[in-house]
Amino acid sequence: MSSAKKLKTYKQKKTGDKISTHQKSSLATVKPTKTQGRTSRKGSQRPLLTGSWKLNAGLFLLFVVATLLLYAVDLHLDFFKVDDQQYVVQNPWIKSVTAENINHILTTPYFVNYSPLHLFSYMLDYAINGLDPYTFHLSSNIWAGLVAGFVFLTALALTNKHIMAISAATLFVLHPVHVEAITWIASRKDLVATAFALPALLAYLKYRRAGASSTPWYIFSLVLFLFALAGKLSVATFPLVFIALDLFVEKRPIVGSLTDKIPYFILAGIMALIVTKAQPATGSHPDPYILLSALLQNLWLITGFGKYVIYRVAPVPQGMGLEILATMLLILIFVAPLLLRRKFPLAVVLIYWILFAFVPTQILSFAYPVTDRYLFFPSVAAVTVLAWAVISVWGKFTRKSLIPSLGLLVVVAVIWGINTMSYLHEWTDPRSVWYGASKKSSDPLVYYNLGWDYMDHAAQFGSKARKAPPTKEEATRLAAKVWQDDPRLPALLSEWEKNSHDGNAEKAFVADLRKLAHAAYDQALATKGKHIMPDLFFHRGLLYLDEGKMTEAKEQFMKGIDEASRSSYTQGSQEVLLNCHFNLGVVYWAEQNYPEALKWMTMVRDERTRFGSNLFPDINTHIQRLQQMIQATMPK
């Protein structure tokens, strides 16, 4: 072969190698052309996802199934006492698919929030199988599975590597921080929002690569983002991640990048105004120390090695000196990722995804700036950056084999899986999830809810049970935990085998449950500090009422009324007032003080009308009976 031919062949091979390398490069390493922007996209329409659609669809379904299998243990849980009652059990707007209900959900905030798509998901569950907790839990698990599938697709689009995408999705499925968001039905907001936010990003990436056919993908991305916002406002800052992709990965001009994000920010702004208006004022103000403390706690929890519990003690202000220091550290945390922008642009994008995702949950005046469910959406970026860092960055030091990198990821996955299963067992504990939480948190609401559960368990037993009795299996599981190693347990189980509910063993068991309830309520009072907790006094009153201690019950109901008058949560305080007033009527009725009972019952009727409440729909019947009883006792 001549020298000229050899040179030509060599150039062809080099050109071919360059094209091949470009096709295999990940989004994190794509080098922009000088004419980067809309014109350059028309000339090069790279596929969004590598691999065949059959392979990717199969892996998507695999992660859905894996999630369903892992969380199958929650399918037999009942509705949770906190929020599930308001969002599902007592929510009239989800219980029929009518134009009126759909219009109400779309136009009216509900339960101091506005998340219409979240409520529509409940409407679908109810239409399928009524008020069945199994259906609602299964639905939440399916939503979580769909998110896991989209995590795989998102990681594949960002890294262009199946091994990284599979690793990221596997870690996502096993992450212990997700237990609260998935198992607690009322936390489905986070699942729904993420389930639409991720395909909104995929549609945006497709828009950036689609050339002449890009406009439909852009519109599709906007629609999906709107659906995500309608699931929960926590995704409102997600367009900032789109800008980060433009600037650090594509090297797109900032003007063009900002211009096509304006519609996203308009949608986010409108939704933020609606949600902010719907939520009650708490009197709290942004405090740099609290923001920094919450951010550091959240970052630790997102590693998968933290302590997972349903309620944590919120950080408290520490003074001006620490506020100034905290402000400087917050600025440093948000600026520091820029140091990686040249060598690791994808890592910068994912880090900012995590940081930006925390902003909505901290700006809104929530009492709990650190909760597991807030981490569901940012954890997508966390698992992706972890998989990318271990395989890509650490892989550079072990070029001969992927085994060390994959081995490290397997170790992390195993530890996370063990933590997830352990935390799931706390949620399925017959004493309630609050029992495990009381060992890890000193928040007064943990003790209050634990006492409430013990009290309700006690009310399920006896020949005149106030609550619906448990199944024999449920009762046995509860007794085995509460009376573990107690010599009275065999006698109790023997009574239940005979279907007896007036025996001495069951009476002793009920008495012990009530003692545990009192102890938990006392602990809540001891730790409540400045917390306004009218429900605590109301439920203490109910416990005394169950024990026949009328004087103590009246005292607690009156304290509940006083506490409710100081609450800024209007809907909650109205509910407590109605409950306390009604039960004061019940107490006086039991004491045969019918005129006093009638006074409180009449108050309930008038307040029910004024508040627009659905509580005590049979109040008029009670009033009529009392009037008849008063009439009967009057001298003729």
pLDDT digits (tens, 9 = 90+) for 443-455: 999 999 999 999 9
- pLDDT score at 285: 75
* 389 and 458 in a common domain: no
Residue 317: pLDDT band with limits 50, 70, 90: confident
Q: Is the pLDDT of residue 368 over 90?
A: no
21 or 140: which carries more pLDDT confidence?
140
Average pLDDT over residues 69-87: 96
C-alpha radius of gyration, the chain, whole number: 29
454 and 487 part of one domain:
yes
Confidence of residue 400 (pLDDT cuts 50, 70, 90): low
Domain extent for 336: 53-427
| Domain membership flag for residue 322 | yes
Q: What is the mean pLDDT of the chain?
A: 91
Residues 405 and 454 grouped into a single domain: no
Q: What CA–CA distance (Å, rounded) separates 601 from 182?
A: 40
pLDDT of the residue at 406: 92
Same domain, 247 and 193: yes
| Residue 27 resides in a domain | no
The rounded distance, in Å, linking the Cα atoms of 231 and 181 is 13
Indicate whether 530 belongs to any domain: yes
pLDDT band at 25 (very low <50, low <70, confident <90, very high): very low
Query: What pTM does this model have?
Result: 0.91
Boundary (domain end) residue, out of 427, 449, 479: 427
284 versus 480: the higher-pLDDT residue is 480
User: Confidence band (pLDDT; 50, 70, 90) for 318?
Assistant: confident
CA separation for the pair 522, 126 (Å, rounded): 38
Residue 3 within any structural domain of the chain:
no
The last residue of a domain, from among 395, 427, 459: 427
Sequence-separated contacts (24+) of 612-620 with Cβ below 8 Å:
613/574, 613/575, 613/578, 614/90, 614/92, 615/575, 615/578, 615/579, 615/582, 616/578, 616/582, 619/582
Q: Region 586-615: what's the mean pLDDT?
A: 95
Assess whether 277 and 298 both reside in one domain: yes
Output the pLDDT for position 19. 36
Q: Are residues 387 and 453 in the same domain?
A: no
Answer whether 239's CB lies under 8 Å from 268's CB: yes
pLDDT digits (tens, 9 = 90+) for 160-196: 999 999 999 999 999 999 999 999 999 999 999 999 9
pLDDT score recorded for residue 20: 36
Give, to the nearest 10 degrees, the angle between helix 162-174 and helix 53-70: 20
Q: How many helices (H) and strands (E) does the chain have?
A: 29, 0
Q: What is the pLDDT of residue 319?
A: 84
Mean pLDDT of the region 572-586: 95
Q: Give the DSSP H or E segment for 117.
A: helix 116-129
Interaxial angle between packed helices 99-107 and 116-129, expressed in degrees from 0 to 180 and rounded to the nearest 10: 150
Domain match, 252 and 198 both: yes
Q: Is 18 contained in some domain?
A: no
CATH of the domain at 597: 1.25.40.10
Please report, for residues 80, 83, 105, 426, 570, the alpha-carbon distance to residue 431 in angstroms, rounded to integers and kept in the order given: 13, 19, 35, 9, 31
Q: Mean pLDDT throughout 37-42?
A: 40
Q: Assess if residue 382 is contained within a domain.
A: yes
CA distance 545 to 539: 10
Residue with tokens 């019940």: 586
* Count of domains for the chain: 2
Average pLDDT over residues 522-549: 96
pLDDT of residue 283: 62
| Helices assigned H by DSSP within 130-261 | 133-159, 162-174, 179-183, 188-209, 214-231, 238-244, 254-259
Contacts 24+ apart (CB under 8 A), 501-509: 501/461, 501/462, 501/463, 501/465, 501/469, 502/462, 502/463, 506/461, 506/462, 507/462, 509/461, 509/479, 509/482, 509/483
Residue with tokens 């009762």: 475
Q: Which amino acid is at 171?
A: L
Does the residue 39 lie in any domain? no
Residue range 247-262: mean pLDDT, rounded: 95
Same domain, 464 and 352: no
**41 found inside a domain:** no
The pLDDT value recorded for residue 568 is 76
Rounded CA separation 206/157 (Å): 9
The 3-state secondary structure of 550-585, one letter per residue = HHHHHHHHHHHHHHHCCCCCHHHHHHHHHHHHHHHH
260 with 354, same domain: the answer is yes
Structure-token pair, residue 567: 């609450």
438 in Cβ contact with 450 (< 8 Å) = yes
pLDDT over 70 (residue 21): no
Q: Does residue 15 carry a pLDDT above 50? A: no
Question: Which of 392, 407, 427 is a domain's end point?
Answer: 427
What is the share, in percent, of the chain residues with pLDDT greater than 70?
91
Are residue 437 and residue 549 in the same domain, yes or no? Answer: yes
Same domain, 409 and 450: no
Alpha carbon distance 264, 528 (integer Å): 41
Q: Which residues contact 373 (CB under 8 A, 6 or more apart)?
A: 180, 181, 184, 187, 190
Residue 400 burial by Cβ neighbours in a 10 Å radius (0-12, 13-18, 19+): exposed
Same domain, 245 and 113: yes
pLDDT over threshold 60, residue 16: no
Q: What is the pLDDT of residue 449?
A: 97
pLDDT confidence tier of residue 284, bands split at 50, 70 and 90 = low
